[in-house]
A and B are shown apart, each in its own frame.
Chain A
Amino acid sequence: MTLLWGNIILLAHSALGAEFYRRILLANPAVEGLALKIQMTVNGQSREADVEPRLLLVHFLRENLGLTGTKIGCDTSQCGSCVVRMNGATVKSCTCLAAQADGAEITTIEGLSAGGELHAVQEAFWNKHGLQCGYCTAGMIMTAVELLERNPNPTPEEVRQGLEGNICRCTGYHNIVQAVLAAAEANSATSSG
């Protein structure tokens, strides 16, 4: 029940959540045991499942789909280890219900280099030693990818601000910032070349 009520409180903060609350929870007071059919495209593959309404997206990805590259680092939406992309936007998948992703396009870290070739941001994290234990890395990379799409040539300060929702305990952020800047540079070299 902790999980359930925690999720409802979180949901109430989002428009999507309010809609979900109206449609599902109010209509079905006895939500426990209720299964919702959801469908989403995860890393280019269509996935369908019957899930509990309260199932978190991160648990759906990790446990139902076996995509364990997305991590859980906190339970209060601070650390960003669970960041994935939903319809292009970054979301913290521990603060999002699987049901909220119904119909969405989801990209996880596993989908970033699906063709076998590393994404420029992954390559830059490797080159610049932007990770140590690797636990925050999936979330960091997913956040950085989106950051660079919004702002292809960020200043170091903009990178630091842009990573404000992701916590790393190992690197002191120095090399993560260097990695994001290097990825930006590599991207601009590619697009101008």
Chain B
Amino acid sequence: MTTRIFGSGIRRREDPRLITGGATYTDDVTLPGMVHAAILRSPHAHARITSVDTAAAGAAPGVIAVYTGADVEGALAPIPCAWIPPESDVKPVAHPAVAKDVVRYQGDAVAVVVAETRYQAEDALELIEVGYEPLPAVVNPVAAMADGAPQLHEDAPGNQAFHWVATGGDPDAAFAEADVVVSDTIVQQRLVPNAMEPRSALANWLGSMGELTIWSTSQNPHICRFLTSLITGVPEHKIRIIATEVGGGFGSKIPVYADEMIAAFCAMRLGRPVKWTETRSENFLATIHGRDHVERVEMAATRDGKITGVRSVVHAGMGAYLSTAAPGVPTILHGLMYSGPYALTGTRADIYGVFTNATPVDAYRGAGRPEATFLLERLVDLVAAELDLDPVELRRRNLIPKFDSGYDVVPGLTYDSGDYEGALDMALEHVGYAGLREEQASARERGQYVGIGVSCYCEICGLGPSQVAGAVGFGGGLWESAVVRFHPSGKVNAYVGVSPHGQGEETTFAQVVSDTLGVPVEDVDIVHGDTGNTPMGWGTYGSRTTAVGAGALFLGLNKIKDKARALAAHLLEAAEADIEYADGQFFVRGAPDQSKSIQEIALMANVAWNMPEGMEPGLEASAFYDPPNFVYPFGAHVAVVDVDPDNGHIVLRRYVAVDDCGPQINPMIVEGQVHGGVVQGAGQALWEGAVYDDNGQLLTGSMQDYALPKAHMVPDIETLSSETPSPHNPLGVKGIGETGTIASTVTIYNAVIDALKPLGVTRLEMPLTPERVWQAIHQQS
């Protein structure tokens, strides 16, 4: 028996070009006559611009043009925010592509130079004289809403960008009736996504045809095209966005930024192709950041260890402007997940979005769900400590029992399927939990501090039903589409609207095609990332590419199969009802020698010499999939740390991840997603954090100052999985791109707090640097 291709960990089809240096990312593209743009950025976090003198820059060697805010005003519409949650009083303040009057964060664009070479463009930036009148700045979201704080926008009094409240069930009753209430203040520090490929855009304007082509580092080229049309005024059908090879995103390449639009503006003005590529320093300043919450949170429980309610008041820093999807992150993707994997009776999320003089924040891997999981799993540990229960035991008493088709939780969501305790059991058994607790006890006797952190999570992804998208203020749909085309030779291209950038869907989608229609996987190529040759789709983020995009693909394949069956019946002179399908062969029931292969049918459909009455030529299908619900992956993670009390140093010794994303198309790729996600979440727990001084100067503005995880800082990640299909997804699949990040930050945090328990340390702020740990230990003693 042959191994089924669906579920097989075959190596990736995209890799040969990537391991040989043959891939073409945006900055690798060169066009005839191409020139280079460099952007001058504000050194101040908040200042009035009093003058801009570009004369010297304009006269510098190689310089073709210098543009300021005055030149761009009117030519480029303000950069829009595209997620406006209803009933939350969102202040969609204007975000000019190039600042003209006021700069509101360090990194705000002030001018652009276009020159023959990149070196010349950067040289000329230094010759632009900008007069600034510095204004007071504020970077902390709580401070920004305090009386007397510096004001960023006239039409956002008190710097309030929005106020969103979601109440589920009866939280006040849960708290009124609670035997135990625990609370904490959690700082979800600002993070810098740091995709390895910096953002880049190459804009080409064909004036004679009115056509604008932009090679762009986008996770969602079709959204990018839509918004580029709104910003530049070029009609959508005259714009082509190409994002076929993108070097990581993690959310940071969802937004449509000023910079790419500036490149388009320059190209349209000059009639020459204009390339702009950010430096890493610019990436730190001008590409979105993530998280930045200050949360006051509390949990209610009964004496016998039943948790009942969760409430929060969150100040979510938005930075200086509302980025493309920013308001949806701390609200819809966060506040609706307060029940987590537990059965609660009341939840309330009270979320303030706050303008600050800092880089705009937007979706960063996990986007809202890591913060929700963190506060739940942190509070559960606090309840366990309060009741003197093992944290695992407390979780067991509260996990939603196994269900396979629908479970309503109080925030108003219906989870699709779950086996939370099964995942927990698997993680504990694998890690050897009982033995670890014994080891921990004996280590403590020797003055060594071992910590064990446990978390359970479930998350919302596979975004999502378009009707819900509309209801929650998302400025687009969330369905996907695919076109499947059989060529005469039986080879297949599938064109998809999603836009993978490292997640491996060229492979997994080809596996779905091969599995469904029996063509060898080598005979299938997946085309994505170019609006010029792919059907409409909403992009790759929110762990939706496989759950939604492969859903559309699968529906298209089934249409092909139906047509192929009808054509086979015609060619075999049999009734359609008598045609069976197996392994790429359509055959007459009971007479398997009377068959046509899918390749033969593809040829006959394409030449169309002998079609049934009324059947169109060709073997091609287009399909759309609008999911009826989100998908809800889940799992349980365990971290083991050693903390050295003498110097505060933490070693992440083991990490066990049990994740359930339903059936896995390619387990090797699933594991890879978990590995990377876990380490990114570990980065937040232990090392990463964007630090501003009080004047809004980013102190962690490069990889020298911002500590990203490196190979020697992390252990092997021990991955396991269970398989609980989603009842409503055509393939049963759920997303896996973000689960690692959603679970790992709090798992590691809980492990460190667990290690320090005998020393009296009960809370710490992230990242858990040795200095912070050491200080906390010494404040106790």
Q: Is the CB of A169 within 8 A of B196?
A: yes
On chain B, the residues within 8 Å of A72 by CB distance are 27, 198
Q: Is the CB of B196 within 8 A of A131?
A: no
Nearest CB of chain B from residue A61's CB, rounded to whole Å: 10
Q: Is the CB of B703 within 8 A of A173?
A: no
Nearest B-chain residue to A180, judged by Cβ: B711
The 8 Å CB contact of A137, one of B11, B18, B27, B194, is B18
Nearest CB of chain B from residue A55's CB, rounded to whole Å: 8
Q: Is the CB of B711 within 8 A of A163?
A: yes
Q: Is the CB of A138 within 8 A of B21?
A: yes
Q: Is the CB of A169 within 8 A of B19?
A: no
Q: Is the CB of B668 within 8 A of A73?
A: no
Against A, the Cβ 8 Å flags (1 = close, 0 = not) of B182-210 are 00000000000011111000000000000
Q: Is the CB of B21 within 8 A of A133?
A: no
Q: Is the CB of A177 within 8 A of B672?
A: no
Q: Which of A129, A156, A160, A166 has the most CB of B within 10 A?
A: A129
Q: Is the CB of A126 within 8 A of B710?
A: no
On chain A, the residues within 8 Å of B716 by CB distance are 156, 174, 177
On chain A, the residues within 8 Å of B12 by CB distance are 126, 129
What band does the interface of chain A fall in when counting residues whose beta carbon is under 8 Å from B?
35 or more
A3-B280 contact, Cβ under 8 Å, with A172-B676, A174-B717: no
What band does the interface of chain B fall in when counting residues whose beta carbon is under 8 Å from A?
35 or more
Nearest A-chain residue to B283, judged by Cβ: A74
Q: Is the CB of A73 within 8 A of B197?
A: yes
Q: Is the CB of B680 within 8 A of A172?
A: yes
Q: Which of A66, A71, A129, A134 has the most CB of B within 10 A?
A: A134
A interface: dominant SS? loop
Query: Once bound together, how far apart are the Cα atoms of A3 and B30, in whole Å?
Result: 22
Question: Is residue A159 contacting chain B, with contact meaning CB distance below 8 A?
Answer: yes
The 8 Å CB contact of B20, one of A66, A81, A109, is A109
Question: Is residue A35 contacting chain B, with contact meaning CB distance below 8 A?
Answer: no
Against B, the Cβ 8 Å flags (1 = close, 0 = not) of A155-181 are 011011101101111111111110000
Question: Is residue A102 contacting chain B, with contact meaning CB distance below 8 A?
Answer: no
Against B, the Cβ 8 Å flags (1 = close, 0 = not) of A123-150 are 0011101011111111001000000000
Interface residues of B in 696-711 (CB under 8 A from A): 702-704, 708-711
A81-B196 contact, Cβ under 8 Å, with A134-B502, A163-B711, A169-B250: yes
Nearest CB of chain A from residue B273's CB, rounded to whole Å: 15
Query: Once bound together, how far apart are the Cα atoms of A71 and B250, in whole Å?
Result: 19
Q: Is the CB of A129 within 8 A of B11?
A: yes
Against A, the Cβ 8 Å flags (1 = close, 0 = not) of B219-247 are 00000000000000000000000000111
A1-B123 contact, Cβ under 8 Å, with A167-B710, A177-B711: yes
B interface: dominant SS? loop
Nearest CB of chain B from residue A93's CB, rounded to whole Å: 13
Q: Is the CB of A133 within 8 A of B703?
A: no
Question: Is residue B107 contacting chain A, with contact meaning CB distance below 8 A?
Answer: no
On chain B, the residues within 8 Å of A125 by CB distance are 15, 19
Question: Is residue B348 contacting chain A, with contact meaning CB distance below 8 A?
Answer: no
Q: Is the CB of B198 within 8 A of A73?
A: yes
A169-B195 contact, Cβ under 8 Å, with A75-B279, A134-B18, A137-B18: yes
Against A, the Cβ 8 Å flags (1 = close, 0 = not) of B109-148 are 0000000001100110010000000000000000000000
Interface residues of B in 671-707 (CB under 8 A from A): 671-672, 675-680, 702-704
A135-B197 contact, Cβ under 8 Å, with A109-B21, A170-B502: yes
Q: Is the CB of B708 within 8 A of A133?
A: no
Nearest A-chain residue to B502, judged by Cβ: A133
Q: Is the CB of A172 within 8 A of B678?
A: yes
Query: Once bound together, how far apart are the Cα atoms of A7 and B669, in whole Å?
Result: 40
A126-B19 contact, Cβ under 8 Å, with A160-B712, A172-B677: yes
Query: Once bound together, how far apart are the Cα atoms of A170 and B118, in whole Å?
Result: 29
Interface residues of A in 56-112 (CB under 8 A from B): 59, 62-63, 66-76, 78-79, 81, 108-110, 112
| A-B pairs, 3 with minimum CB distance | A69-B21, A133-B502, A135-B247
Q: List residues of A whose CB falls within 8 A of some B CB.
A: 1-3, 33, 52, 54-55, 59, 62-63, 66-76, 78-79, 81, 108-110, 112-113, 118, 122, 125-127, 129, 131-138, 141, 156-157, 159-161, 163-164, 166-177
The 21 listed contacts between A and B (C-beta, < 8 Å) are A72-B198, A73-B196, A73-B197, A109-B20, A113-B20, A122-B19, A129-B11, A129-B672, A131-B19, A132-B503, A133-B197, A133-B246, A135-B248, A141-B19, A166-B711, A167-B703, A167-B710, A169-B248, A170-B196, A172-B679, A173-B714
Q: List residues of B whose CB falls within 8 A of some A CB.
A: 11-12, 14-25, 27-28, 30, 61, 118-119, 122-123, 126, 194-198, 245-248, 250, 279-281, 501-504, 668-669, 671-672, 675-680, 702-704, 708-712, 714, 716-717, 740
- Given contacts A33-B61, A138-B21, A176-B711, list 8 more A-B pairs with CB under 8 A: A2-B126, A59-B118, A66-B30, A108-B21, A132-B672, A169-B194, A172-B676, A175-B675
